[in-house]
Amino acid sequence: MMKQVKTLLIAAIMMLGANSMNAQAKTAHIDVQELLSKMPEMTTAKAQLETLNKTFDGEYSKMVTEYQTKMKKYEGEAATAGDAENEKRAKEMQDMGQRIQQYSESARKQLSDKEAEIVKPIMDKAKAAIVKVAKAKGFQYVMDASSLIVADGPNLFEDVKKELKF
């Protein structure tokens, strides 16, 4: 009986110790998306991506306009062109349509790749600043506020902004 009480007492002490360790863990939060959107580097990155996107859109629009112009011309001449010529034109239009689709897919991929290339260093810089501020303030955990239901704890946003000097 004494052995059971002793075991129970040890278990209770261990549970209390574990609970106090959890209570001592300091947590804070920050809205990472808001931070990124306000970083001057992100404004520059967005402008670069917008310029690239406009370039792709312009080229795509030219290709589609050329396609539509040819299609109208060929449709207007279809009755007098003959079967062999109409088949040749249909193949040409099909090939042209495929080139337009390939261009669109390639442009989307290039834009996505460029975005990853430009944004990654900015995200790394933000993360480094968050880690530095968290360590300086003694926080073991920093959570992204955008995914929290309740965010009553300390918000590191202003401190991280100061660290990033903007």
pLDDT at 14: 54
Question: To which H or E segment does residue 148 belong?
Answer: none
What whole-number distance in Å separates Cα of residue 66 and Cα of residue 32? 44
- In the DSSP assignment, the letter for residue 140 is S
What whole-number distance in Å separates Cα of residue 56 and Cα of residue 139? 45
pLDDT at 21: 47
Domains contained in the chain, number: 1
Domain that residue 54 falls in: 2-164
pLDDT at 61: 98
**Tokens describing residue 15:** 């549970």
Alpha helical stretches, state H, 25-82: 32-38, 40-81
**Tokens describing residue 150:** 């309740």
pLDDT at 24: 65
CATH number at residue 97: 3.30.910.20
What whole-number distance in Å separates Cα of residue 131 and Cα of residue 53? 33
pLDDT tens, the chain, 166 aa long: 445 544 544 544 555 554 444 456 799 999 999 999 999 999 999 999 999 999 999 999 999 999 999 999 999 999 998 999 999 999 999 999 999 999 999 999 999 999 999 999 999 999 999 999 999 999 999 999 988 888 888 999 999 999 999 9
pLDDT at 60: 98
